[in-house]
Amino acid sequence: YTVAENLILGSHYRPPFNKGLALNFTAIDSHANNLIKDFDIRPSDKDNLLKSLSGGNQQKVIVARELCGEPKLLVAAQPTRGLDVGSIEFVHQQILNERDKGKAILLISADLEEILSLSDRIAVIYEGEIVDVLDPKKTDENEIGLLMTGSTTNKKLSKAR
């Protein structure tokens, strides 16, 4: 798929991208050009194949496509894995922007630093169950890591005594 085609996946059957049985290429091209500009997707040619873009720019296309649909809930699973520093910062900012608009964000990440910096609450799962819900301002990577491995943290031990 081209960048333009990718940017309308899932909404290609709705106006303004659809005119009866045909696609509205004028609307698709305009939409693609706007998102390419807004999300700084490079190279900026909407007709490039998505697979020809760098990983960071492929991720920007996905983020642009998903956010332009105005979701009430955003599930971000490993949103920055494998990205360069600039792309990571960009994706993080988009997640924070959506949060600030009142959207619900479910962040799933193995990057504890990312979880601590983006989360309002952290639910730690071990063996398929939530073992604790933490305030990111009152915890650290060590405590989260211990909970992820099924260990009882020092805080829990001191509360039990």
**Domain segments of the chain as ranges:** 1-69
| Rounded-to-integer distance, Cα 8 and Cα 22, Å | 14
Residue 17 class from Cβ within 10 Å (0-12 exposed, 13-18 middle, 19+ buried)?
Answer: middle
Dihedrals phi, psi of 101, to nearest 5 degrees: -85, 0
With CA atoms as reference, report the closest residue to 134 among 161, 150, 115, 114.
115
pLDDT in tens, the chain (161 residues): 999 999 999 999 999 999 988 999 999 999 999 999 999 999 999 999 999 999 889 999 999 999 998 899 999 999 998 888 988 999 999 999 999 999 999 999 999 999 999 999 999 999 999 999 999 999 999 999 999 999 875 555 445 43
> How are the residues of the chain apportioned to helix, strand and coil, as percentages rounded to the nearest 5?
50, 15, 35
Q: Is the dihedral of CA 54, 55, 60, 61 positive or negative?
A: positive
CB 13 within 8 Å of CB 5: no
CB 92 within 8 Å of CB 114: yes
